[in-house]
Structures are given as C-alpha cells and as structure tokens.
C-alpha cells in the first residue's frame, strides 16, 4: 500500500490522476459544458466566502459526525453518483464504495456506472449504499432497475432531474469518448503512457455499463448500447414521473439537480426526503449560477420541510463547512473522490476523505465550534457570502 501521508490536499490527487488516467476519461471527469463558466464558478465562488476566526474557546471533544436521511455519517459528505467511474480506475465503483463504507460515509452508484448494482452489493455486504436513477423512455427497464436497487440493499434512490437532454462537453467530442476506448492511433499512443491503468483494465471483466448491457432490451454489447442511450434519455420527464417513481420505490427518495427556489418548493411538496442543489458539476447549463450561490435561497424557501444538500465545486473540508453554514444538511463530492481513485485506487479515495475530514475539523475549530451541528451562518464574515 502506498504511503500517502505526503498527499496533503485534493489538488495533489488531481495532478497525479491527470498523469495516470487516459486523457479521454480524465477530461470526462474534469470538464464542463460549453465555455465551462459554471464549472469554474462552482469552485471560485467558495473562495470568495470568508470565515470568522474565534479564539479562547474550549476545543476539546470535537466531532464532525452528523446524519443524512437519518443515517449516521462520519461527516456530512457522501460520494456523488458519477458516470464511468470504473474507467478512472479498474473496478472503480467497487473500490470507491469500499472506501466509503470503511470511512463511514454514503456511496452513490450511478445508472451509468461500469460496475453493476450487483457488483457493488457483492462487495458492500449488508452495508447499504444509494442508487442514482436516470429516467429512460423504457419504463419497463426503469421498473426492473428499481427492483434491482431494492435487491442490492440500496437504502435510498437518488433521482437526477437535470439530464433530460445532454449539455455539450467539447472535450468529450474532441476526444471521441467511448467505453472502452476505440483503438485509434491517438488513443493507443495515449494509453501507452498509462501502463498502470492498462494493467488494471486487463485484470478486470468490468469494462462496459454494467447496469445496462445485458439488462436493457436489445442491448447486448457496446455497439448497441450507444444507439440505445442516444434515444433513451426522456425529455418528457415531469413531476408526475417523480410521483410514479416514488410509489414504485417506496423508500427514501432524493431529488438531484435543483437550482431554483420554486423547483425546491415543488420538490418538498412531492414528498421527497431530500433535494440536492446541483448544476451537474457545470456539465449541463453553462451560465447557470454556482451551486453555493444558489444554496441560500433554496434553503430559505423550503425551511425544514425537506433535507437540503448540495454538490458542485467542493474540494476541501472548508467548502463543506461553508455549505453547512449556508443551509446544506449534507454535501456530495464527485471530482474530489475521482481524483483520488484515478491516482491511487481505493487508497486514494480513502485519502481524499481523510483530507476533507481533517480540513473540516480544523477549520470548524478555528471558527469556535466543536460540533458540526452547531455550525450556522454566524461562522461566516458578513458581506462575503450569498444571501437569500
């Protein structure tokens, strides 16, 4: 096992992942749509928020422990659903789920994962994880997917609402993104510089979309998958579909992709258990506000009627603390754990979580708090943070 003690921040992991992961898959994770203005704002807007340092406070007995959906968590952080995680590192979803389980935070598996629901369940045992659902035109397939999530011991369903149509990501088009990579000269030359990644992929059978291939009608290989995916994302998705899914699932439901206070009120009225303030990591509507900018108005609009979480731009424990101060009961990290996965596999995900928790704990202490549940807007310097 590598000694990762000198890896001190998420940026360290990002730089190593960029060297080790093939270009098309690194770019897939680390890019936004069109001009990438929203993608950049997600990070930059956190930096504009300043913290109030407090002194002469007893800082013994600190804890970052909290709950999300009533489940105990080591800190208010979950691993976000990310597509093609198993292309950042062989068996990526399984490794990330194991790291999350060991650390005590939730893991969310994407519909567009490489490892399947059953693969992850096999390695997490009785420890539940969450499943993120995309709504497809094929409702029979969606029903079967929900049943598979139930059988896999998933304790919550995360319904993504902002991917009825795809935002254009220029890098994916230029790189000819495909799973597995097409054997073009450019790809082969790039893969030749990533021996660690290639050896890992040679050692696994998981190289396609495990939740779809062999499960959706007419999709038996990667060739038929491309055509199926292009026509299956359902642009007709509406609140009636949310109600239908809630009834079919019957368990805890989280709605992901809320960026407007009115949509947040509708989410609360739908009977969902939590909503995620999210612009899909800046990968959908370029020109939308950052998630942290949108958070206070949404938290104010729904009050305590539904748990409010957020994702987008979280690269440190300080970011988690700021989100908590502005009304987020929980947060989700995507790129931060993917950098760790691409750099060092399971150990890298664990290191990313360690870094974020340590930053969260120390920053909370400097702000004069010892329990994460004591954190509110008073830890922030007035005039530096967005307001409702």
Residue 340 annotated as lining a ligand binding site: no
Sheet harboring 307-311: ordered strands across? 77-79, 330-333, 307-311, 274-277, 252-258, 156-160, 130-133, 108-109
Residue 314 annotated as lining a ligand binding site: yes
Residue 6 annotated as lining a ligand binding site: no
Residue 134 annotated as lining a ligand binding site: yes
Residue 169 annotated as lining a ligand binding site: yes
Residue 128 annotated as lining a ligand binding site: no
Residue 324 annotated as lining a ligand binding site: no
Residue 82 annotated as lining a ligand binding site: yes
Residue 81 annotated as lining a ligand binding site: yes
Distance CA 17, CA 267 (A): 36
Residue 246 annotated as lining a ligand binding site: no
Residue 111 annotated as lining a ligand binding site: no
Query: Which helix (H) or strand (E) covers residue 66, if one does?
Result: strand 66-68
Spot the catalytic one: 89, 123, 127, 280: 280
Does residue 214 come out as left (phi exceeding 0), alpha (psi in the -120 to 50 range) or beta?
Answer: left
Residue 200 annotated as lining a ligand binding site: no
Query: What is the CB neighbour count within 10 angstroms for residue 184?
Result: 11
Range 189-214 burial, b when 16+ CB lie within 10 A, else e:
eebeebeebeebbeeeebbbbbbbbe
Q: Which of 313, 276, 314 is nearest to 295 (CA)?
A: 276
CA distances (Å), 274 to each of 261, 331, 339, in order?
14, 11, 27
Residue 220 is encoded by which pair of tokens? 């038996």
Residue 256 annotated as lining a ligand binding site: yes
Q: Is 280 a catalytic residue?
A: yes
Q: Which of 269, 67, 247 is nearest to 157 (CA)?
A: 247
Backbone angles phi, psi at 310, to 5 degrees: -150, 155
Binding site, residues?
A: 28, 81-83, 110, 132, 134, 160, 169, 256, 278, 280, 283, 311-315, 334-335
Residues serving a catalytic function are 280
Binding site for FMN, residues?
A: 81-83, 110, 160, 256, 278, 311-315, 334-335
Binding site for glyoxylate, residues?
A: 28, 132, 134, 169, 280, 283
């Amino acid at each position: 096992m590598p000694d990762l003690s000198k890896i001190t921040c998420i940026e360290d992991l990002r730089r190593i992942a960029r060297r080790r992961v093939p270009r098309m898959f690194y770019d897939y994770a680390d890019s936004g749509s069109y001009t990438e203005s929203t993608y950049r704002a997600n990070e930059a807007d956190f930096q504009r928020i300043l913290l109030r340092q407090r002194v002469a406070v007893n800082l013994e007995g600190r804890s970052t422990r909290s709950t999300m959906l009533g489940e105990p968590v080591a800190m208010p952080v979950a691993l976000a659903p990310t597509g093609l995680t198993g292309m950042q590192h062989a068996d990526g979803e399984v490794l990330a789920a194991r790291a999350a389980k060991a650390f005590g935070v939730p893991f969310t598996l994407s519909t567009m994962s490489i490892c399947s629901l059953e693969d992850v369940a096999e390695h997490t045992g009785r420890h539940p994880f969450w499943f993120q659902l995309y709504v497809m035109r094929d409702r029979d397939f969606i029903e079967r997917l929900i049943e598979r999530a139930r059988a896999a011991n998933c304790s919550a369903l995360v319904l993504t609402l902002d991917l009825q149509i795809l935002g254009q990501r220029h890098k994916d088009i230029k790189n000819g993104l495909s799973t597995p990579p097409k054997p073009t000269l450019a790809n082969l030359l790039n893969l030749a510089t990533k021996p660690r990644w290639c050896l890992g992929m040679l050692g696994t059978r998981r190289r396609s979309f495990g939740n779809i291939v062999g499960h959706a009608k007419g999709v038996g290989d990667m060739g038929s998958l491309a055509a199926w995916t292009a026509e299956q994302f359902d642009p007709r998705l509406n609140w009636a579909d949310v109600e239908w899914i809630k009834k079919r699932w019957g368990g805890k439901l989280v709605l992901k992709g809320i960026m407007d206070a009115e949509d947040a009120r509708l989410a609360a009225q739908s009977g969902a258990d939590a909503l995620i303030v999210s612009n899909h990591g800046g990968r959908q509507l370029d020109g939308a506000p950052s998630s942290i900018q949108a958070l206070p108005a949404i938290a104010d609009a729904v009050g305590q009627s539904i748990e409010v979480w957020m994702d987008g731009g979280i690269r440190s424990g300080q970011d988690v603390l700021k989100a908590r101060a502005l009304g987020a009961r929980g947060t989700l990290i995507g790129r931060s754990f993917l950098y760790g996965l691409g750099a060092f596999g399971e150990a890298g995900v664990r290191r990313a979580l360690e870094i974020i928790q340590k930053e969260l704990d120390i920053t909370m202490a400097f702000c004069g708090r010892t329990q994460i549940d004591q954190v509110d807007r008073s830890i922030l310097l007035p005039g530096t943070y967005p307001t409702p």
